Structure 1
Amino acid sequence: MSEQTPTPAPVVRRVDARHRYEILVDEKRAGLTAYRDRDDRRVFFHTEIDDAYAGQGLASILVEQALTDVRASGMRIVPVCPYVAKFLKKHDEFADLTDPVTPDVLTWLDAQLGR
């Protein structure tokens, strides 16, 4: 009888130097959600999961843990990223710390990203 080693749970880590949260599977980066901080708001603008890890629910785990970290830090969320915005529509437990995306925020973000 062969024993299978259980697959370790994905790990989410905040990487401040790169302005993102990463999700790791077997110590390999499987995806990320990127942000920039503006005062007391964390502006999420991009989320991606590598194709090799698609369909495993990793984006949801990543974003939920990132938003939980934002709550713990006392900051607010601005969901420019379409995936984060979609996640928030289904998870109203974060509604109390979500701010709307405004033209001012989009202009600021474009300047931050050099676009």
Structure 2
Amino acid sequence: MSEQTGTPVVRDVEARHRYEILVDDRRAGLTAYRDRDRQRVFFHTEIDDAHAGQGLASILVEQALTDVRASGRRLVPVCPYVAKFLKKHEEFADITDPVTPEVLTWLEAQLAR
């Protein structure tokens, strides 16, 4: 496991439908999404093995959800990590929509493109 020396930076890479977390200007992880009307549907989060155990996933998801709030969108936590994060961070409950079969069918079609 490598030590992070710089402050992690989170950025929205809209063209790739994901937020990335950078450490020392290198991508250390991401959380992927697709937009459905006014919802941002999060479906996958990963942190590179070299950065595991440093709390980066929590930083990444918290900043991504804060960005969702600022944009006026709502979020749908299909990703298990995002769902787990929301159980501990109720401050995002007011912008969280449930995962429904309709959302899952829509997401599957989006990802098949």
Give, as a single letter, the amino acid of the residue that structure 2 aligns with 1:50: D
What does residue 20 of structure 1 align with? 18
Are 1:104 and 2:94 counterparts? Answer: no
The CA deviation string for residues 4-38 of structure 1, in whole angstroms up to 9 with x for no partner, is xx922100000000000000000000000000000
Which of 57, 60, 63 aligns to 2:58? It is: 60
Give, as a single letter, the amino acid of the residue that structure 2 aligns with 1:43: V
TM-score by length of 2: 0.95
The CA deviation string for residues 43-102 of structure 1, in whole angstroms up to 9 with x for no partner, is 000000000000000000000000000000000000000000000000000000000000
How many angstroms apart in 2 are the aligned matches of 1:81 and 1:9? 25
Structure 2 stretches lacking a partner, 5+ long = none
Mapping of residues 65-84 of structure 1, within 5 Å: 65-84=63-82
TM-score by length of 1: 0.94
Count of aligned positions: 110
Structure 1 residue runs of 4 or more that deviate by more than 2 Å after TM superposition: none
- Give identity over the alignment, percent: 85
Structure 1 stretches lacking a partner, 5+ long = 1-5
How many angstroms apart in 2 are the aligned matches of 1:36 and 1:59? 19
Aligned Cα RMSD in Å?
Answer: 1.2
